[in-house]
Structure 1
Amino acid sequence: MMQQFYPSPLHSYRFELNKDMNFSAAHFIPSEEAGKCQAVHGHTYFVNVTIGGNELDSIGFLIDFKIIKDVVHKKYDHSVLNDHPEFKDKFPTTELLAEQIWNSIQEVLDTRSNRPQCLQVIVRETPTSYVVYRPRQEELA
């Protein structure tokens, strides 16, 4: 993967971790307004996750990179996004996928004693199109 630099959220945390990863998945947007995207099609999604925190864990990690990758990759790789329960009542757009990835990662972070926070998730659907998801300030502990 070519190295990408994405917009960074403003924060005052001492540490900022960024994890890049990718996965392949299919989806469709069952609405006439979606044009060609109504049909099932696939993407190799590229994801960047930004995590911030002030405290490291007992071995010196904000969080292990592998944990972040596993949360996303094991859930979505080689799947049809429409089949996931989080998209039962909504279309799996790139915007909503980024929000769901944030939810999944923050759920894991909330169990950590050092309490890191997921500051943003970027999902690149094509080489020329990506979405940035940042939670509202009140969603960050």
Structure 2
Amino acid sequence: MSKIRITKQFTFETGHALYGYDGKCKNVHGHSYKLSVTVIGSPISDSNNVKFGMVIDFTDLKKIVKEEVVDQFDHATVFNKNTPHIELAKELQNRNHHVILVNYQPTSENMVIDFAERITKRLPENISLFSLKLQETDSSFAEWYASDNN
């Protein structure tokens, strides 16, 4: 059976700051992220299955990515919990802001690794995450490929 890749795209707004960085991104700022999620699998060949001909229903893929990434990160501010930004994070949380504390510097590169782990654990057994592309700006993005991470 042929393997087919399908892609679904998502957008969300997230703020972050890079502690210790030597440029403007040390300041709290935000991005309109675009996330492309590509999975690979064989189309369902059982003609009695309501998902006949699909690798995965786009609606099912959307549910996974929304729950694991978009709903978590949209309109949140992300800080590395192991930096002095923790003080700012606590102040924002006390004022009812949505803050996410992570174990990594919240760069696009590290975020895309985090997203790959979150999505992979939710995919059905016969579907694999092929790649992710996280666009921070129109001209800057990070990509994750399963083939690079085996």
TM-score, normalised by the number of residues in structure 2: 0.71
Identify the residue that residue 123 of structure 1 maps to in structure 2.
134
Equivalent residues in 2 for 1:74-89 (5 A)?
A: 74-82=71-79, 83-85=99-101, 87-88=102-103
Give 5+ residue unaligned stretches, structure 2: 80-98
Residue type of the alignment partner of 1:125: E
Change (3 A) 1:138 1:127: closer
Count of equivalent residues = 122
Identify the residue that residue 64 of structure 1 maps to in structure 2.
57
Identify the residue that residue 15 of structure 1 maps to in structure 2.
4
TM-score, normalised by the number of residues in structure 1: 0.75
| CA RMSD of superposed structures (Å) | 2.3
Shift of 1:72: 2.0
Q: Work out which of the two has the higher radius of gyration on C-alpha atoms and give 1 or 2.
A: 2
Identify the residue that residue 107 of structure 1 maps to in structure 2.
121
What CA distance in whole angstroms lies between the structure 2 residues aligned with 1:19 and 1:49?
A: 5
Give 5+ residue unaligned stretches, structure 1: 1-11
Give the alignment partner of residue 133 of structure 1, picking from 141, 144, 148: 144
Change (3 A) 1:13 1:30: farther
- Superposed CA deviations along residues 74-125 of structure 1, whole A, max 9, x for unmatched, are 121111122435x23x20100011111111110101xx25x20011100000
What CA distance in whole angstroms lies between the structure 2 residues aligned with 1:25 and 1:69?
A: 15
Contact 1:45–1:123 (CA under 8 A) maintained in structure 2: yes
Identify the residue that residue 31 of structure 1 maps to in structure 2.
20
Secondary structure of the 1:92 match is: coil
